[in-house]
Amino acid sequence: MKIRNYVALWTIVILGSITFLFLVVGLDFIKNEYRYLLLSKSEAASGDMKSAVSELMRSFSGGVSDHILSIAYGESLNKTLIDMKDQFGADWSFVTINNDNYIYPYNVRASTLVADSRPWYISSLSAPEQFVGNEFHSTALNASVVTFSVAFKRGNTLFVGGLIFREKRFFDMLSSKLINIPFLILNGNEIIYPSKIAGKINKVNFQKNVVKFDDELYRTYRENYDHVMSLAGVQSNTNYDLVLLIPNASLTRKTNLSLWIFLSLLLIADGGAFIIMFLIVGHLVKSVESLPELLLGFDIASTTFEPEPALEKHAKKFKETRMVYEKFVDLFQDLNAHVEELKATNEELEASYEDIENLSNTLARESNELKELSEASKLITLSTDVTEASEILLERISNIYDCDGVKLIEISDNGLKTMSERGLEFETPNLLPLNERVLLGKISLTSWNGKNYAIVPILFESKPIAIVIMMFKHGTPSERELESISNFSVHFAALLNSHEMLAKLKSSYIYLAGRLAELSEFYDYETGSHVQRVGKYSEFVAKELGMSQNFVKDIEIYAMIHDIGKFKVPRDILTKKGTLTREEFEEIKKHTIYGEQILGDAPFLEMARHIARSHHEKFDGSGYPDGLRGNDIPLEARITAIADVYDALRSPRRYKKGFSHEKAVRIITIGDGRVEPSHFEPDILDIFKKYHLEFARIYEKLSEEEER
C-alpha cells in the first residue's frame, strides 16, 4: 500500500472516531438533560398539587369551625347545616353531637351509623379544634368521599362536624386551582378522573409514560395518591395513583437547542481535525518518501556519500525520519571505520614479533593477577549476596590494576543500573559506540573527558549481563591484561543471574496470583470485574496513604485473590439461593483460613496471605476469623476490607440487587446495622469519604469494560 493511501485511510479512521465519540458523549448528555428536566418539572408539579390541597383546607378551616361553634352556642342546627353546605358548595354538611348524627341533605343510613368508628371522627378527636381531612369510601353514602372536619368539646358535650365532598367534586376543585398542571387519577390502570366520557384524552400508553391530552403530547410522572394527600394533611385510604402530565414540548425545546449546539461543535471538531491532518500529513509523506532517494547517494565502493540538500532537509523534518536517516549515516561511517581497522590490524601483525618479547616480561605479573582473581572467585562462590559479591570483585580488580576508580553496571531489560563502585567517583562514559563490542563480549579501551577507561563485559552463557568500567587518570592496561577479569568473573555472573531469576520468579508469583483471582471469582460470583475492581480500589487507597511503590503495586495484585479460599468451600453452599444455615455460614467463614493455606509459605506471598486471612477482620474487633482489633489487623487487610465491602454493596448478586453509589456510601459512612463505620480504620474511612467518587469511577469503568 502506498504511503499516501495509508495515511488517507488513517485520516478517515481518526475523523470517524472523533465523530463517533462526539455522538456517544453528546447524545448521552442530551438524554440525561431530558431526564433531568422531566424530573425537575415533575417534582415542581407534585409540590403544587400538595400546596393546592393545603390551600383548600385553609379556605374551609375558619368558616367550618365558626359554624360548628355556633351550633355549640345554640344556633339553629338545620339552618347552620344548610348554610355550611351552600357556602362551601359541598355535597353534604354534617355534625355529630355526642353520639347523635345530623346530616344535610338528610340520609337515613348516615344518620344511624356509629360515629366513633368512622375515619373522620377518629382523626378529629386525635387533634381537637384542628381542621383535618379524610378520604375513603363511605358505605353509608354509597360513594367515595373526602371529608373536612373539626371537633370541639363544650362542657360534657362533644361536637364533631364538617363538610363532605364526592371525590369527583373534590378533584374538580383541585383542577380549578391547578389550571396549568393537568393530572389524572388512576385506580389500577383505570382512569377515574378525568372520566373517560369527557372526550379529552386522545391516547394513553402508561408503559411508555405517554398521554395525549387535548391533542397535546404529555410525559407522565406517577406518584402514590395517598402519600401526596397525607403530605398535605388529608389522610387517604384509596390506593389510587396520581399521574402528573408534563408537556413534552417544554422538555424538547431545550434539548433541541442542545442538539443543534452539539452538531455545530461536531462539525467544527471534524473540520479542524481534517485541516490539521491535511497539513501534517503533507510534510510527513514528503519526509518519508525522501529516505529511499537519499539512500541512492551511498557509494560503498568509493566510501563517499554526498546527499542532496533538499532531500536531506525533508528527511530531517521529523524526529523518526531523522533518526532513520542518521542511522544510515552512522552505518556508512562504521563501514569506513572497519576498513581502517583492518588496515591497522595488518600493521599490528607486522609488529607481533615485538609483542612476543613484551609478553615474556609480563608473565610474572599476570601470574600474580591470576592468583588474586582466583581468590576473588572463591570468595564470590561462597557469597549469596549480590552486593557483597560486587564489593569483593571490585576490591580485587582495584588492587590488581591500580585503577583510580572502578564501577560495576548491571545490564537488564530495563537498561543499565550501577550496582557498586569503588575509588574516585566518575561519570560513566558514553557506551553507545561500544555497544556492538559489549554485546559480543569484547573488552574495549576508550578515552572521554580527559580520562582513560577500560570496559570489560561479564558474560553468562555467552550473554553480557554486567559491565566493569575502570577509570585511569594516566594510561590503561592492555586488552590482553584485562581478559583475566572475564575468565574469573564466571561465579559472579552465575550469582547475578540467580538474582535475576529470583526476581522473575516473584513476577511469576504475581502473574499466578492474577490468574487465581479470575478463577476464584468465577468459582463464586461468575463475574470477572469484581476482583479487578477490588484490586484497583486497594491500589488507590494505598497511594493516598503514601505507601511505597512496591507496596502499591503488590496490593493491587494480591487484593484480587482475597477470596481464593472459597475454592475449598463446597460450591453448593456458595451458590445456594436460600438462607444459609448456621453451619453453612460457619463453613463459608473458613474461606479466610483456607486462603492462607492455599497460598503456602512462599516469602513473596506474605502480603497475599495477610489479605486472604484478615480481610473480614473489623477495626472494632467484631470480625473473623481471629477477632483482631485496630492495628493488630495487617494494613493491607484493612485497606482490602473497605474495597471489598464497597464493591459487594454495588454489585448485583443472586440474592440481592446492586445498590447505587450514593446508598453504598451512606451505608459505609453512616451504617445500616450490618455495616458500621466502626468496622474500618478511621484514616482509611476518611480517604473513602474524601474520594468516594473515585471508587464510583473505577466501578463504572471496569463494569462497562466487562459488559463490552
| Same topology between domain 39-267 and domain 368-496 | yes
Superfamily classification of domain 525-707:
Hypothetical protein af1432 (1.10.3210.10)
Find the largest Cα–Cα distance for the chain: 150
pLDDT of residue 133: 93
CATH number (1.10.3470.10, 3.40.50.300, 3.30.450.40, 1.10.10.10) of 368-496 reads 3.30.450.40
Q: Which amino acid is at 630?
A: G
Lowest mean pLDDT among 94-108, 215-229, 288-302, 632-646: 288-302
Q: What does the DSSP assignment read for 399-438?
A: HHH--SEEEEEEEETTEEEEEEEEES--PPP--GGGHHHH
228 within 8 A of 54, measured Cβ to Cβ: no
Question: For position 540, what pLDDT does the model report?
Answer: 97
- Mean pLDDT calculated for residue range 483-487: 66
Identify the band that residue 196 occupies on the pLDDT scale cut at 50, 70 and 90.
Answer: very low
Minimal CA–CA distance to 139: which of 163, 107, 171, 116?
Answer: 107
User: For residues 547 and 444, what is the distance between their CA atoms, to the nearest angstrom?
Assistant: 43
Given a cut of 90, is residue 81 above it in pLDDT?
Answer: yes
Domain ranges of the chain: 39-267, 298-348, 368-496, 525-707
Q: Rounded mean pLDDT of the chain?
A: 80
Listed ranges 214-223, 549-558, 566-575; the one with the highest mean pLDDT: 549-558
CA neighbours within 13 Å on the CB side: how many for 551?
Answer: 16
End-to-end CA distance of the chain: 32
CB contact at 8 A, 565 and 590: yes
φ, ψ of residue 652 to 5 degrees: the values are -70, 145
Counting every residue, how long is the chain?
708
| pLDDT tens digits for range 398-455 | 777 788 898 988 887 777 888 888 888 888 888 777 777 877 778 888 888 888 988 8
How far is residue 230's CA from residue 54's CA, in Å, rounded to a whole number?
A: 10
Q: Give pLDDT tens digits for 335-371.
A: 666 656 655 655 665 565 455 455 444 444 454 555 5
Helix, coil or strand: residue 299: strand
For 233, the 3-state DSSP assignment is: coil
Joined grid coordinates for residue 521? 471469582
- Give percent above pLDDT 70 in the chain: 74
Q: CATH code for 39-267?
A: 3.30.450.20
- Strongest mean pLDDT among 69-78, 194-203, 211-220, 307-316: 69-78
Residue written as cell 615485538? 354
Listed range (161-165, 478-482, 619-623, 686-690) with the worst mean pLDDT: 478-482
Angstrom distance (rounded) from CA 234 to CA 58? 12
Find, among 398, 400, 376, 402, the residue nearest to 388 by Cα: 376
Q: How far apart are CA 496 and CA 73, in angstroms?
A: 110
